[in-house]
Amino acid sequence: MQMLSTFIKPMHREGIRFVAIFAAVTLGLFLISDVLGWIGVGLTVWCYYFFRDPERVTPEREGLIVSPADGIVSLIEPAVPPAELGLPDQPLTRVSVFMSVFNCHVNRLPVSGEITAIAYRPGKFLNASLDKASVDNERNSLAIRMEDGRSIAVVQIAGLVARRIVCFTEIGAKLATGERFGLIRFGSRLDVYLPEGVEPQVRIGQTMIAGETVLADLHLSDPA
C-alpha cells in the first residue's frame, strides 16, 4: 500500500472533466486502431497525473515563506508588483517558479494571512519562462496581508500551453501557509514578490515543492 501511494496520487476535482474527455477519445481511437488506442491510454494517464493533488507537509515555524508551486526557480530579480493589486509602486524581490507540463499544478499559499486583493488580467500566452511573461501574459494576482501588517504578492501566470487560470479563494479569506488557493492548466509560472528587506533562501535552478520548500524567511535578511 505504501508503494502504491508513492505512485498513485489523488486527483484534483478540476481534472475530472479533462480525464473523462481523454478517456472518451481513447475509446474512439481503439475503434480505429489498437496503436492509436494505446497512445490515447498513455495520454489519459498523463492527464490524470497532471491534475494530481498530493498531500504536502508544510513547515510550521513562524516567519517562513514556502513555494506556492512545484517546479524550478527560473528568475530572481527586482520588479514592481502588478499595478492592479494597489501595492506601493516600488521594486521588490521577485522569485519566479516555472512549472512544466509534468509538474503538479495545484498552487498553495506561501504564507499565512488575509487575501486583500485579487485581480485577473487577460493577456498573451508567451513561454512562461521568459521574463516578459510577467508583464504580457494572462495572469491572476493576489495580495496577502500577513499578521505583522506587511503584504506579499503572488501572481499566477499562464504559459505557452496554459489557457485557464483557476483561483479557489476570495477577498477577505484568511488562509494558512500551504493551503490550496488555485491551479493553472498545462504549463505555467508563479511569481512571488517578497516584502521589502526579505531575501530569498533559494537559487536559480533549484527544484521547488509547493507547500514544503522554504522560499524565504521573514526573520532573515541574509541571502541564500
CA 150 remoteness from chain centre: 22
Q: Are 152 and 193 in contact (CB under 8 A)?
A: yes
The residues carrying an active-site annotation are: 188
Number of helical (H) and strand (E) elements in the chain, helices listed first: 4, 13
Strands 207-208, 71-79: pairing is: antiparallel
Task: Report the candidate in 79, 107, 77, 63 with the shortest Cα–Cα distance to residue 208.
Answer: 107
CB 136 within 8 A of CB 123: yes
CA separation for the pair 46, 56 (Å, rounded) = 21
Please state, in angstroms and rounded to a whole number, the distance separating the CA atoms of residues 3 and 21. Answer: 29
Residue in the structure block whose three cell numbers are 491572476: 140
DSSP 188: E
DSSP H helical ranges for the chain? 2-7, 16-32, 34-50, 133-136
